[in-house]
Structure 1
Amino acid sequence: MFSKDTFTIFCFSFLQAREELKQLKLPGFMYSEVPLLASSVPYFSVEEEDRSEDGVHLIVCVHGLDGNSADLRLVKTYIELGLPGGRIDFLMSERNQNDTFADFDSMTDRLLDEIIQYIQIYSLTVSKIRLHTFLSLSGPHLGTLYNSSALVNTGLWFMQKWKKSGSLLQLTCRDHSDPRQTFLYKLSKKAGLHYFKNVVLVGSLQDRYVPYHSARIEMCKTALKDKQSGQIYSEMIHNLLRPVLLSKDCNLVRYNVINALPNTADSLIGRAAHIAVLDSEIFLEKFFLVAALKYFQ
């Protein structure tokens, strides 16, 4: 229990820190100033009328490079807590966790087979699945071509050579001599994102593993100055976003995450911020309660 004086000091410190953050004049809003939450349903309650809905909302959680099926456990937890009583089922993908360094074509085939088998094995009647909300937590949609960390770039280069990784080669856009024949460029031209009702992109400037602009699918200053590959980067962004922006049924939202991180080696190289979007209970609870639950209702 807190004493009254301790609580007062805590509140004062919080308000002072919030005002200091405001001085940075960052775009967006703060959790503590949001008048309404994304969901008004209290934790652990059961809304019986939701049970009458035909089918379930299948949420497919897919981990990243060198990850596993437990990586998105907190995402699952806070969606379940925030939307109690809903017809929701989770597939915590594990088919690729033993070989995340394979090429993306192979991993896509495995994931698709896993989803189909899951639906068949559990005899699910699915009302919503991947075409409802696409939530990306620091995903490298444009690869790592303009990563600002030389240390991370060197590490990824050694990792690619050691693992003979197809996915790392594709992420750096070095899988073909012609930039327009690389995996990511050809993927950008395929229809996909605009089929979703919601496209929610989350990125962090503190993340040095996945570039901020790649996670948010937007241009960066380095690409603008690059006469060799900058145009290719711009075309990829255009290919990905034009169908989304032209679709009246697709809602594009971007979120910027700022973490209070300790001064550690992981923070220095940007790893801490990269994994914080999956491991930080404070962030995930606030993110879903204040903003993201509405995309899963």
Structure 2
Amino acid sequence: MFSFLLKELFKELSFQASLYSDLPLLASDLPYFPPEEDDEEFDDGIHLVVCVHGLDGNSADLRLVKTFIELGLPGSRLDFLMSERNQTDTFADFDTMTDRLLDEIIQHIQLYNLTIGRISFIGHSLGNIIIRSVLTRPRFRCYLPKLHTFLSLSGPHLGTLYNNSTLVSTGLWLMQKLKKSGSLLQLTFRDHVDPRKTFLYLLSQKPGLQFFKNVVLVASPQDRYVPFHSARIEMCKTALKDRTTGPVYTEMINNLLQPVAEAKECRLIRQNVFHALPNTANTLIGRAAHIAVLDSELFLEKFFLVAGLNYFK
């Protein structure tokens, strides 16, 4: 009966047709939700992404960064370590915070028995200095060949020496006095009488950035907390006129960029960001732009879709 009615139906149609159930092959043999691949098929291991917050921050600061990477790269074998070891005391000196982060990374790898294929770092503000310091430690040496991407969000790689905001400079000075902060002292090159013996200068002389495949420096001229030229690792006009500290500043830039330029497999990318910010006190002092790289969904979505995701593939 069904066959008879089916033939009658086709006779009444004014065009040639067939039923999907009668076709010998499916339109696609790929399931909507493919099963997870076996671990044995991946020889390159896990891609560990370490996220490090900045001054007075916490492990949740880079949560949106993590979210947009996961959304943009579904199925990738990414393992995120949202660093929390320093969140109770970001005013300590950099050596202390470096030891904490290094311990946290090694313990994370050992605890979850991870087979590391690649390691990437994402840092915000002061966290970028801690990341660079970790790279110089002997215990991390075995992971240097696995380094992939360093995404620096408003990182004070050259300190805050030539900050053009008197208000911010005064505020940081007061905070350093009140908190007795070793890190703020080091960021302003006041941890030693000889600028060539300060923490940041000595750090610039040590290898680090050239081991990455991608070094991405994200900076905003609207950010008054971290100087634009410091986040981009480039010369500024004030340093050119300064005959005392200016030459030291130039040496630091050369120390950082020359090894990167000589490394054949390392790319240096500078990204300038201009935020649409409301007229508020936070915008005036430059804080709004400093934290917009963390909490602006508009910026993060556009950044990762246009360019950022390519650095984590």
Structure 2-normalised TM-score?
0.79
1:227 offset after TM fit, Å?
1.0
| Matched AA of 1:82 | G
| Distance in 2 between residues matched to 1:50 and 1:272, nearest whole Å | 45
| Matched AA of 2:97 | M
- Residue in 1 that maps onto 2:247: 231
- Partner of 2:234, secondary structure, is coil
- Residue in 2 that maps onto 1:79: 69
- Residue in 2 that maps onto 1:119: 109
Confirm or deny that 1:145 pairs with 2:135.
no
- Partner of 2:307, secondary structure, is helix
- Partner of 1:70, secondary structure, is coil
| Distance in 2 between residues matched to 1:86 and 1:284, nearest whole Å | 19
Instruction: Decide which of 151, 158, 169 is 2:185's aligned counterpart.
Output: 169
| Matched AA of 2:242 | D
| Matched AA of 1:253 | I
Instruction: Decide which of 106, 114, 118 is 1:128's aligned counterpart.
Output: 118
Contact 1:199 1:251 in 2 (8 A): yes
Could you list the structure 1 runs, at least 4 aligned residues long, displaced by more than 4 angstroms after superposition.
Answer: 44-51
Confirm or deny that 1:59 pairs with 2:75.
no
RMSD: 1.5
1:186 offset after TM fit, Å?
0.2
- Partner of 1:65, secondary structure, is coil
| Distance in 2 between residues matched to 1:45 and 1:146, nearest whole Å | 54
Contact 1:50 1:87 in 2 (8 A): no
- Partner of 1:129, secondary structure, is strand
| Distance in 2 between residues matched to 1:242 and 1:59, nearest whole Å | 26
1:228 offset after TM fit, Å?
1.1
1:53 offset after TM fit, Å?
2.3
Confirm or deny that 1:212 pairs with 2:228.
yes
| Matched AA of 1:159 | M
Contact 1:45 1:84 in 2 (8 A): no
- Residue in 2 that maps onto 1:13: none
Distance 1:161 1:204, change over 3 A: same
| Distance in 1 between residues matched to 2:167 and 2:112, nearest whole Å | 45
| Matched AA of 1:63 | H
Distance 1:75 1:45, change over 3 A: farther
Q: Which has the higher contact order (CA 8 A, sep 6+)?
A: 1
- Partner of 1:194, secondary structure, is helix
More divergent stretch after superposition (47-56 vs 243-252): 47-56
Superposed CA offset, 1:177-212 (max 9, x none): 000000000000000000001000000000000000
Gap regions ≥5 residues in structure 2: 1-31, 121-146
Sequence identity (%):
76
| Matched AA of 1:65 | L
- Residue in 2 that maps onto 1:41: none
| Matched AA of 2:185 | L
1:45 offset after TM fit, Å?
7.8
Alignment of 1:270-281 (within 5 A): 270-281=286-297
Confirm or deny that 1:296 pairs with 2:289.
no
Instruction: Decide which of 198, 213, 217 is 1:197's aligned counterpart.
Output: 213
Distance 1:50 1:80, change over 3 A: farther
| Matched AA of 1:53 | F
- Partner of 1:238, secondary structure, is helix
- Residue in 1 that maps onto 2:171: 155
- Partner of 2:207, secondary structure, is coil
| Distance in 2 between residues matched to 1:199 and 1:157, nearest whole Å | 30
Superposed CA offset, 1:56-80 (max 9, x none): 1000000011100000000100000
Q: Larger Rg: 1 or 2?
A: 2
Distance 1:120 1:268, change over 3 A: same
Contact 1:57 1:127 in 2 (8 A): yes
Contact 1:46 1:85 in 2 (8 A): no
- Residue in 2 that maps onto 1:100: 90
| Matched AA of 1:212 | F
Superposed CA offset, 1:120-150 (max 9, x none): 1111111001411000000100000000000
